[in-house]
Structure 1
Amino acid sequence: MEKNTSADGVPPRSREGHPQGAAGNAAGGRHEVKAVELADLNLALRERLKELDCLYAIASIIETPGITLEGILEEVVKVLPPAWQYPEAACARIRLDDKEYRSFDFEPGSWSLGSDIVVSGDKAGTLEVFYLEERPAADVGPFLREEKRLIAAVADRLGRMVERVRFEEALMASEERYRDLIENASDLIQSVSPDGRYNYVNRAWREALGYEEKTVTDLRLEDVIHPDDLDHCREAIGKVFAGERATGIEARFICKDGREIRVEGRASCYMEAGKPAYTRGIFRDVTERWRMEEALRESEERFRAIASTAHDAIIVADDMGRVSYWNPAAEQIFGYTPDEALGRNMHELVVAPVYHEQYMDEMSSFRESGEGSVIGTTKEMIARSKDGKPVPIEASFSSLQIGGRWHAVGIARDITERKAAEEIMLAANRELEAFAHTLSHDLRTPLATAFGYARMLENYKALNLDEDSREWLGEISRSLSYMDVMITSLLAYARAGLSGGDSTRVESSRVLEELLQSMKPALEERKLEIEVAEDLPAIQVDAVRLRQVLQNLLDNAIKYGAGTAARIYIGARREGDLVTFHVRDNGTGIPAEKLQSIFDPFVSLKSGEASSGLGIGLSTVKRAVEGWGGAVWAESGRGEGTTFYFTAPAAE
């Protein structure tokens, strides 16, 4: 097969393989681009939701009252695999110091992604996620770029959490003994007196907020805490002075230069003689994490906004079949408002009776694995609207996990108008086919009769015809024969555009071989040199239509070839689900001013010269190729030869 080189001169193509520009199909492209964009957005949304769910789960585990460090790590390692793109093949392991924590059914696979757990600037352990089975290549091996950032963020959070826990334990044991350690901690540590004045802050606190050590004792809570957060922070401090521990405190601290940072942490109270002496607060700067979470929330809002304005119905249902999301397009197509649809079973709403048994049979397996016969597919089917009427739709289905439960996502397009148009087209095709059959019979029958009598008269010796009479009868026979050729060509042109024919797997090499064998006398007469690439790809078209296309292109190349030195090259290449064929000759070429009209019917390339055809060979090619959903175009120049291209769907 010929390689895809610049010598081919193949113009740039869209994702679907159709050429861009005058020969492309711009109208269909816009719909396909929308479908692809929507699918990409849907996939990105699912992954971001899982990552956000993982971060929230870890935050909840860490803030569980009374939980130990070991308990935190045991729970965290369990929530990591579901956050990955292929949770069914994922497992996780946390190594910290001399201990190891593993997720369920852990095995060290061949594909891993890891990040160091750093505590106080030193590596204390590792966080690793493994794939037990090979998965498609992504940004980092089989892993996504976002998964690399997620594991780094979780490892960083675990490191900081370990730091904080160890620092708290150290403070509880002996504040003086670990004074230097606190001073150099990466968390923000502070002490506040009952009157709201700062007694002490560590180096990380001072560096984060931009204050010098000597000025800290002049600060009060209202100088540091954002006005909107001051009340709930004072409430938390009041609980601490009352002997309670305050955890999960979130606030905005105002830096010396006016910047805001977001912190979260916990506080306790040091008592002297039974009275509160000062608070001990340990906070962490979570500004970057907050920005990331805000970005995720904004991203989710954008996706929801897109889904709300989409022309396709977008429906999400949980593992019990209950609808949890229903966009406006779903209301328009199926008639149910969101209030009517949310919480109800898909079975009751839109599933047509013909699919009920399959739907019920597959729900249990979907509930366990998120799999089903329609998951990951796009199908045409009949749905049911609120008024009970059938609605033809084209729907794609996928699954994702939310909160540890499988959910189904369906994207459906109402194809009622398309189906009606197809029915009209089929009816028109049937009518045209009947007309063509009638035309063929009604015109050819008298032609055959007239042609037969003319030949009989020409050969009837008893008439003693003179030379002029014989010439006249010969001209009648030739005219009748030419009229038969015209009728045959017109019928071929009409039938080429009826439909794609009977689409089957066709070995294009075999079709071309049989065609060249049938054309052997004409090829030998012209002494043509024909080169065919090896192993032409198999395609999914009607074999008769393919032969018709190749024969017309070869006839054209022979007719306009370079005399006795004519050479023709035939090749093809496959790109995804599309095969592009090309037929190249070394003939005189086609002037630029004619290149755009060569596929129009009744256009002859030899202006002013006698021609045995009607000028519909290339237009027949165009109708046949477009009938099976392909495209055809040409590249040429005067004296440079011509290359004709056409596309066809590749056979599976």
Structure 2
Amino acid sequence: MAENINIGQYNIPTFLNSTTKIVASTAILYFLISKLSLFIFVTEINILPFFPAIGFAIATTLLLGRKVILGVAIGCLLFSISLYLSDFQNATTFKELIKPLALCIVRPIIASINVFLVSYLTKLWCKNKYPFDNEKNVIFFALASLLGTFVSVSTGFITLTIIPYFSLDNFILIWSNKLRGNVLGAIIFTPFVLSWLLRTKEFTGWSAVKKMEAFILIIFTLFTTIYIFETHANNESILFFFLIWAACRFGMKIITLVSLVITIISIYCTSHQMCGFTFIGWNKDFFMLQLFLFVNMVSVLFLKSILEQKENEENKLKITEQDLDLEKNILKATVESPKEVSIFSLNTNLNYLSFNSAHSKYMKNEYGVEIKIGDNHIDLIPRRSRKEEIISIFNNVLKGNTYSAEEKDSTGAYWNVAKSPIKNEEGKIIGATTIVTNVTELKLKEMQLEKNNISLNQRIKELRCLYDISEIISNKALSKPKKLEASVQIIPKALQFPEIANCRIQMCEEEFFSANYQQNDWTLKQNIFVNGEEYGFIEIGYYNAKELKKETIFLEEEIKLLEALSDILSRSMERKLAKEKLLKSEETYRILFENVQDVFFKTSIRTGEILDVSPSCSTFNGITREELIGQSMSIIYSDKNQMQLMLQKIITEQKVIDHNNEITINGKLFYVSINAKIIFDSNGEPEFAIGSFRNITERRLMEEKLKISEAKFRSIFENFEDVYFRTTMDGTVLDVSPSFEKNFHKPCSFALDNSVFDLYYDNQDRESLLQKLKKDGQVRDCDIRFRDGNEKILFFSVNARLIYDENGEPIYIEKSMRNVNDRIAFQKELLTKNRQLEFQNTELEQFAYIASHDLQEPLITVIHCIQMLQEELNENLDEDQKQYLQFINSSTARMQLLVKGLLDYSRIGKERKNNCIDCNEIVANVLTDMDVILKKSNAFIECENLPVIEGYTTEIRQLFQNIISNANKYQKKDRQPKIKIAAVKEENNWLFSIQDNGIGIEEQDKDKIFVIFKRLHNHNEYQGIGIGLSLCKKIVEHHNGKIWVESNYNKGSTFKWTLPVELN
């Protein structure tokens, strides 16, 4: 039995993971066990000779802790109420009620104290939760049960003595029976619960005979107990034999089960023989029975603990003897071990206890370290992954397990590794021993034998496969696809795992698959080459083979087979293609001969006779083959000497390429390029000249034109105004146009072979130009300053590019430079005028602001005067006068709006500080301001996610407010306004759009709407002064943007504008 039993060694239900569940479960089980106890309840005197609920409560408290006691108290209270329920119902006076009430209160107190004291004393004296592992703990548990029960029952009954109206008749009798019932419940039922919850291997490995023996023991115990107590045989001592039988042959589960059977039957028979009345001497009989059961249980527990302790000692002695023999063998092996056996021992910290010379040599060869006693084995191993593997293995061995495996080291040697724990005399593991045996020679022989067998079998299949495929390939009756289709079905049968093998062949665009082809886990592929070029491939593979190792999945024989099959298919295709190529070549030559533009000819060297000529001769002024064949070559040469010179050149050089001649056919002159060579007879004498001539008349004419063009280009080069340079990468001038002299006032010889860098006015310009050239390869319209011969500054617009060699490396720089002094001067003049214009615009804006601001005061005066006239003369005015005043009032109000609009217009662009603007927030604020108007028109607003831009907050808000307001205003009365606000990014700009379903704008009015104070509708139809969109236009242009409208008349408009991502 283990010394330190903990809760992890008990089968505790997993749902008992909280105090609430533990208390509730304990209360329910306590109540149910108590109710079951009523079957052996003596009703006449209301006593329980055996109360197993106390034993259950003690066991659960030992396992789950003191939180169980609350559940015990609740369960006992419920049981007490159910027990005395009739007394509560029949009570008519307080005095009659006090007795059951007092018992219902005292019984949970007795049970709680009893459980607490017994469990506490057991843990205190036994030091663990299973007090039956040795004879001393059995005695301690029995004493704890007696003492705890005595104190708890005495405490409860003393409490009853102080309760008024409570009868103390038979006090000692009831007290003693309560005490004995609880003690018997603790000493019998507590071992039963603990032993059956304890995880043991008591029933593991039982034979059929042992199972039958356990069954017979329980049946004999059952019937013997019934016989003894039903027939008053007075030979109860025989039951002790069954307990001894159980203790000697079985474990605690069977012992406690037998004891519980005897207890229940004996008490049941004894109590029910009273027939509902109490006979004289019943208390003595129960006491003797309880004493008999108590002594039996304690005795058998004591006996079992002695037997188990003896068995444990014998096992320890046996293990110690085995370990001693092992250590002797290890010591002997260490001293006498051969060189192939490496032996070493480590302690629990993996430090060396001993090792032989073979292991020392192995550690030096494998890891390059010298070892000594006390060194840590893990610290000597450099590879982290290897360390973790060794630590894991040793930790498993130090738990008492053995380890055996075959390993391969870095040199290719195979070792048989065996590890086992080392134990001291007390059976405690103090280290581990490792024996490593070199089995390389045996392993290699086994591997070679296996390889030879596999190779032989594979070779037979390969030869059969090659023979079958050769027969298929040589079968001329089969087409190429049929041959490949048949071959792909045969190949998988020649592989080492034909049941999971498949094959695929691809030739050009066609693919052929074996019948069982599917996605492979492993594949091997061999390309098929035809005449040195890849023509296709043949692929073999295995599916459902993930467990196979990569290094053994394809044998060397399979690789060679694949190569042989590829060679067979390659040679077959080469023969087929060669035949097809020959036929195609003949056809091609025939087509070429009949259709090529060049004229093929064959001429006799000796006679000069034209023996053959291609039909393309008709391109030469319509002459036919029939007219030329059999004629002398002189027929096409007007100059005979030229013909002789050409033939002599062919004979001398044996081959001529691009030899230019003039021929005349039917009176027309042609320039031709002749390619020809000599064919010798069997004696090595020139016999024929064969070749072709091409009409190059057009080319000759083009060459003449090219010469004229080059002369023209040279003239332009020498006379054009721009300056041309060609320099090396370090600036040395290789070529320069004559215009250099005119622009730089220096001769061209000054620049040639010198550095062009000397002409730059500013070295920074030069470096900037070179960096851009190296980055982009070219530069266009780059303004650079130079110095002329008089040290004056010249401005040139430079276009330059890099010239690269065949390796892609820059070798030259070509530049063309145009004198832009006049343009620079004009730009300076334009800049001055722009500044003047900006100043005038500023003055104009100030004037507009002042004018509009100053106009406000008289307008306000007029409005006030009209209001005063209306108030003072209202009753004295007739309708026409009131109408006149109303016209004046509305006109001045409109004038005030115009002045305010003019003032707002003049303020656009005055905001100096730009900010990061969240357009979503701007639109939300605008919609909040317009909430009343929008609700009135029942407008539907759809706004997509808008960007954050740089700009001027006030102006952007005014822009959105004006366009949204117009979209809501210019609507048909019977239509719900629908407004959609969106933005998308286009390169470096944001494109905003506000779309409505309003009245739209006619095509001819699209440009008018952005004109200040321009209105398209009268005031009665749509109110406004005609300045909103002109303000929007100015705001967008102030932000470097553009605004426009897209509209369908009577369907709606979309106002679009662009704003830059970054306001520069």
Higher strand share goes to which structure? 1
Normalised by the length of structure 1, the TM-score is 0.49
Question: Scaled by the length of structure 2, what TM-score is found?
Answer: 0.33
Greater helix proportion: 2
Structure with greater contact order relative to length (CA < 8 Å, sep ≥ 6): 1
